[in-house]
Amino acid sequence: MENLQRQRTQRAIDQAFIALLKEEGFRKISVKEIAVRALINRQTFYNYYQDKYDLATKLSDRYFSDFKQIIDQRMQGMQDHVHLETFLEQTINAGPLYQFLLTNSDTLSVLLEFQIDNHGLRKRIQQEVATKMKQTKIAESDYVIEIFSNFAVIILQNACRYHRLPTKAELRELRQGFIKITY
């Protein structure tokens, strides 16, 4: 029973923080506001987090951990030197990833925009995608890897906004459009 109450309180704090982040931005949020929105007292907040920075970091860590686990599972069977379109289809259009994005789209939208000291969720996902691209030898150039890891985050942001992932046809259209504008 105590564990369930702890989970509910943590969820209330997290949801209050995300709602305030959407409304006011990080700098304007205070622990007192988070506590009021979560219907708890300030001391209860401090039983869970040191401050709003700790809350932001731990929340980002949880979502990144879930994202990484899904991507790791999808990447296990992937061959080296896989085609970029195949990489996008197999990582982005994964059933578990779609479910994760659909279930958490509001929170992910906010966390992907939010950045603290270059350690936000967006940056961590970009770095993870870049690492996976290097591991599977999809691209060797750091220049190309950086562009496509940014591209992957943009796809995730749009998936959260539109509540769906791109179709295979849209991925092909994106690839063709990219080729047209670069040549």
| Residue 4: partners with Cβ closer than 8 Å, 6 or more residues away | none
Distance between CA atoms of residues 35 and 16, nearest Å: 8
H helix runs in 39-77, sequence order: 42-48, 52-75
Dump pLDDT digits (tens) for 26-55: 999 999 999 999 999 999 999 999 999 999
Q: Is the pLDDT of residue 97 over 90?
A: no
Dump pLDDT digits (tens) for 101-142: 888 888 999 998 887 766 689 999 999 989 888 887 777 788
Q: Residue length, the chain?
A: 183
Please check whether residue 101 is in contact with residue 125, taking contact to mean a CB–CB distance below 8 angstroms.
no
Confidence of residue 14 (pLDDT cuts 50, 70, 90): very high
Please check whether residue 45 is in contact with residue 17, taking contact to mean a CB–CB distance below 8 angstroms.
no
Q: Mean pLDDT over all residues of the chain?
A: 85
Residue with tokens 């789209």: 105
Q: What is the pLDDT of residue 34?
A: 97
